[in-house]
């Protein structure tokens, strides 16, 4: 319901009131995306730390994926933070951090591939897996809208799809 409200409000604001700043770089929609991604990252990470589960690596992967999305959306180099955090959160530092994290997780999964293949198969056919797959499809749709400059307010459609 919250998303539907944001969808209606932002569409009305852009198409009727012509407030295009809503979908501008570092604008309101991008900030809502980062907030949503941060919440998802925590929701996926906390069970890894506080619960005994067999799917911890899957949850850790998706939590780390959320972190990568957040680092993609936030212009870390423009924030008033220490230089070391700017280096880690942007450019080559971000790419190395993310590559190291994903390679480490995949390497760990390879040691028990049968278990994680079964866990992943079960996860993908679950309700949560369906949400993850839907989110991936929406990200792809957002990418399509990003390149459709002939569509009026295509960036709004991209940002809403990503959200």
Q: CA-to-CA distance for 123 and 44, rounded, in angstroms? A: 13
Q: CA-to-CA distance for 124 and 31, rounded, in angstroms? A: 29
For tokens 């897996």, name the residue: 129
Contact 48, 56 (CB under 8 A): yes
Question: Which DSSP string corresponds to the chain?
Answer: -HHHHHHHHHHHHHHTT--GGGGSTTSHHHHHHHHHHHHHHHHHHHHHHHS--S-HHHHHHHHHHHHHHHHHHS-GGGSSS-HHHHHHHSHHHHHHHHHHHHHHHHHHHHTTHHHHHHHHHHHHTSHHHHHHHHHHHHHHHHHHHHT-TTSTTHHHHHHHHH-
pLDDT in tens, the chain (163 residues): 888 898 899 989 989 999 988 888 888 888 899 999 999 999 999 999 888 888 889 999 999 999 998 888 888 888 888 888 888 888 888 899 999 999 999 999 999 899 989 988 898 899 988 988 998 899 889 889 888 888 888 888 888 988 8
For tokens 């959306």, name the residue: 73
Instruction: Write down the pTM of the prediction.
Output: 0.84
Q: CA-to-CA distance for 124 and 111, rounded, in angstroms? A: 21
What pLDDT, on the 0 to 100 scale, is given for residue 101? Answer: 93
What pLDDT, on the 0 to 100 scale, is given for residue 66? Answer: 92
């Amino acid at each position: 319901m919250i998303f539907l409200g944001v969808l209606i409000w932002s569409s009305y604001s852009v198409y009727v009131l012509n407030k295009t700043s809503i979908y501008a770089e570092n604008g309101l929609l991008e900030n809502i995306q980062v907030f949503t991604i941060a919440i998802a990252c925590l929701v996926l990470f906390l069970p890894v730390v506080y619960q005994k589960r067999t799917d911890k690596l899957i949850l850790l992967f998706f939590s780390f994926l959320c972190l990568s999305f957040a680092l993609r959306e936030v212009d870390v180099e423009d924030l008033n933070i220490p230089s070391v955090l700017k280096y880690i959160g942007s450019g080559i530092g971000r790419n190395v951090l993310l590559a190291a994290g994903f390679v480490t997780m995949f390497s760990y999964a390879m040691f028990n591939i049968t278990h994680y293949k079964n866990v992943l198969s079960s996860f993908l056919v679950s309700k949560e897996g369906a949400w993850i797959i839907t989110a991936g499809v929406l990200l792809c749709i957002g990418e399509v809208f990003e390149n459709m400059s002939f569509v009026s307010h295509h960036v709004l459609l991209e940002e809403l799809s990503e959200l």
